Each structure stands twice: as structure tokens, then as C-alpha cells.
Amino acid sequence: MTFLSVLVRHLWLPKRVVCGCRFVLCHLLIILAPVAAQTCPSEKLRTKIAEIERDLQGKLGPVRLHRLEELEDDIVMPRKAAIDVETPFQIYQVEQRRFFLDGDKILQQMPWGRKFSTYVAVSQDGEHIYRLAGFRAEAEENFKRLVYDYHLPPPQNPSEAESRALFCARVVFGAEPEQRVLGDEQAKQMISNHFFSHHGEADRWWRSFRSKHPKTTLSVTTVNAAAGDYLTRLPLFWAPVESGTTPEIRELQIRVNRDGSCQKDVESSR
């Protein structure tokens, strides 16, 4: 005899009240059971993230990991898919903390909110870390391991290969989207912004570039390579912050292997 049945017999509760109680209890169980099941993995994941942040502090200062779910979607399931898939890992970009604790004092960093071209992936259970862009000695091999561990689908055509290459350009090799050159007009605008709209300097730079590279096409291209691989050529605008250094347009060549992993073929100046 259930608890609700006892109440009905001894307290003569109306049937509709009993039905209402059952409805509430059932929904509480549905809601609370998954939460209870996920408590340990979530806590372990938070602990692992805090550990990574501490490890990076000596090199980058006080930082935090900022999750980028759109990157997880890009690598696990194409955006055109109509279903929502829970990824088995999370992708984070490292960014500077604005406020941080130093002993019992709250300090502030300026400029705040800077994002580094440093990425890590962490499994949902917090067991596995994949150090990607920003960890040059490990990035390619760790991404290959990520592809293998989670059976990420390899590209089936040049379009899918190009999408994988653009993902790797950012997350594995640290080339941020704002560095990509997608045509002559965009390149001219990037040069103009670099020279703070000093049109004379920007025009001279552009004329010099075109005289040296009259046939260079400033767009992303992907072609079939040997043994089922693909090769993507990605023009990048390289402009270091140091004064007196001339900006360049470089080409990053990424080979997307038949297993879905990526490797940098070459990065050359134009």
C-alpha cells in the first residue's frame, strides 16, 4: 500500500488531489534524478578546469577558461543538422581575468578581458585534457587523439574538409577568425585599419604587395591531396603590435587527413 493510498483511506483526500500529488512527485523524480547522477562528473570537471587555470597562471597571469559551445557544435555536428547533440567534451578559450584574488585582496588587471589564442578541450567527466592551440608541442597530436577518442566523423568532401581546416586553424593552430583574409577588399580594409586610416601608407603597402604578388588569390581554397587527404590554403593578415614591424599577408596550409585530424603543412609569407 502506497503512502498516497494510506492518505486516501484515512484522511479521505479527494481523488483529484491524489492525482495532483502523483503528478508532482513524478516530475520531481524526473528532474532530480539526472541532477543527482551528474553531480560527481560536474564537480570533477569544475575541479579540472580550476587546475588548468592554475597551471596557466605562471605563464599568462590570472586567467579563466571560457567555454565556446559553437565550436563544439562545429566539430561534432554540422550546423545544418536539425538536432541538438550533447558533445562528449567541452572546448574552452583562455582569457584574462579582470578581477582576481591575491591573498585577501581583490586586484584588477588592465587591460581586462584579453583573449589568448590558447584552447583546451576537456571531457565531460573531467578525466581527459586535450591541450590544443597555444601548446605547440602537443596541439596536433592532442587533436588527433580527440578525433580518435570520440570517433569524430572525417570529412567526406572538400566543403567538409574546409570546415574542418578552418576549425583547426583557430583551435589547433591559433589563427583567429579576424586574421583571415577573404578577398582583396577585406585585405585593403585590414591594411587601412592597421595604419589607422593613413591612406597614403596603406596604399603604398598595397601597391607594393600587388607588384610582388600580382597573381595571388586572397581567398580560402581547398583541393584534394594524395591518399584521400585535403589541403586548405588560408590567407592570414599578420600584423604584430610592435611598432616599426611591417605587416604581412601569410598563407597557412592545413592538411586535413583522411582520419579527420589536421596538420600544418607550411606557413609562409607573401
pLDDT, one tens digit per residue, over 71-90 is: 998 888 654 555 566 789 99
Residue 216 reports pLDDT greater than 70:
yes
Q: What is the pLDDT of residue 231?
A: 96
The pLDDT score that the predictor gives to residue 175 is 95
Nearest to 90 by CA among 135, 133, 52, 45: 45
If you ran DSSP here, which 8-state letter would residue 161 be given?
A: H
Across the chain, the runs of DSSP E, i.e. the strands, are: 63-67, 89-96, 99-102, 105-108, 115-123, 129-131, 221-224, 230-238, 248-256, 262-269
Please report the pLDDT score of residue 227 as a whole number. 84
CB 228 within 8 A of CB 261: no
Q: Where are the alpha helices (DSSP H) in 64-157?
A: 69-76, 139-149
Q: Where are the domains of the chain?
A: 40-153, 155-270
**Is residue 242 very low, low, confident or very high in pLDDT (cuts 50, 70, 90)?**
low
Contact 22, 4 (CB under 8 A): yes
pLDDT number for residue 200: 83
Alpha-carbon distance of 48 to 11, in angstroms, equals 52
| pLDDT tens-digit map of 188-205 | 999 888 888 677 888 999
Q: What is the per-residue pLDDT for 117?
A: 94
- The pTM assigned to this predicted structure is 0.77
The per-residue pLDDT for range 129-158, each reduced to its tens digit, is 999 999 988 999 999 999 999 999 999 999
